[in-house]
């Protein structure tokens, strides 16, 4: 998994794949909403998806929103056919006034978005396969 905080990270990942330093298809996560990095802007996400597909057509992608951008970025990613990341590592609130009681509450919110966009939710086994992780 490659976390991309700006365009140069996407280009570097595709370069490293082409020269053999990264093996297999890329899995790139666009991290949005971090100060002085990639803004949480839908047109920016569209450009990054297009750029990744142009340089690495077999790549899979994911988008993660930090802090208040989490829900919005989750919805964009799901609606556009990508994967998404959620959890208290990136955001501790369900909304402006409500702390998330657990990671499970944030995951449930992402599952609801998947349902709304008629997208399947990966099982833990599918998630490990998508990320190229071994089974314990």
User: How confident is the model over 18-47, as pLDDT tens digits?
Assistant: 999 999 899 999 999 999 999 999 999 999
User: How confident is the model over 66-86, as pLDDT tens digits?
Assistant: 999 999 999 999 999 999 999
Q: Domain 2-131 is classified in which CATH homologous superfamily?
A: Aldolase class I (3.20.20.70)
* 60-71: average pLDDT: 95
User: How confident is the model over 93-121, as pLDDT tens digits?
Assistant: 998 899 999 999 999 999 999 999 999 99
Terminal alpha carbon distance of the chain: 18
Pair 60, 25: CB distance under 8 Å: yes
- pLDDT number for residue 12: 97
Domain ranges of the chain: 2-131
Confidence of residue 7 (pLDDT cuts 50, 70, 90): very high
């Amino acid at each position: 998994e490659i976390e991309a905080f700006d365009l140069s990270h996407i280009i570097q990942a595709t370069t490293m794949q082409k020269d053999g330093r990264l093996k297999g298809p890329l899995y790139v996560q666009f991290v949005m909403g971090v100060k002085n990095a990639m803004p949480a802007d839908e047109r920016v996400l569209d450009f990054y998806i297009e750029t990744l597909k142009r340089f690495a057509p077999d790549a899979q992608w994911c988008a993660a929103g930090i802090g208040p951008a989490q829900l919005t970025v989750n919805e964009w990613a799901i609606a556009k056919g990508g994967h998404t990341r959620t959890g208290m590592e990136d955001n501790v609130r369900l909304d402006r006034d409500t702390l998330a009681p657990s990671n499970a509450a944030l995951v449930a919110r992402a599952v609801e978005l998947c349902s709304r966009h008629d997208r399947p939710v990966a099982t833990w086994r599918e998630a490990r396969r998508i990320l190229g992780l071994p089974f314990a």
